[in-house]
Amino acid sequence: MGLSVAPSQANFVLVDVKRNGRTIYDALLKQGVIVRPFPSLPTNLRVTLGKPTENDRFVSALAKVLA
């Protein structure tokens, strides 16, 4: 998808969606995918890593929202 992910040593990553993060957050929430907006970096979302099926669901939902 051409997105940037900040290096992390935690169970979450910051993904730069290159758009208004709050708007993408709202669209993902409508699909039942919960992430967190990151107000100090307005184009970023905080994404907690989960089980492979949960991660796949997030990636699919994000691709749909960004399309």
Domain 4-66 CATH (choose: 3.90.1150.10, 3.40.50.300, 3.40.1710.10, 3.30.200.20): 3.90.1150.10
Q: In this structure, are residues 48 and 32 in contact, taking their beta carbons and an 8 Å threshold?
A: no
Give the separation between CA 33 and CA 30, rounded to whole angstroms.
7
pLDDT of residue 52: 97
3-state SS, one letter per residue, for the chain: CCCEECCCCCCEEEEECCCCHHHHHHHHHHCCCCCEECCCCCCEEEEECCCHHHHHHHHHHHHHHHC
What is the pTM (predicted TM-score) of this model?
Answer: 0.90
Per-residue model confidence as pLDDT tens digits over 23-60: 999 999 999 999 999 999 999 999 999 999 999 999 99
Q: DSSP 3-state assignment of 4? A: strand
Domains in the chain: boundaries: 4-66
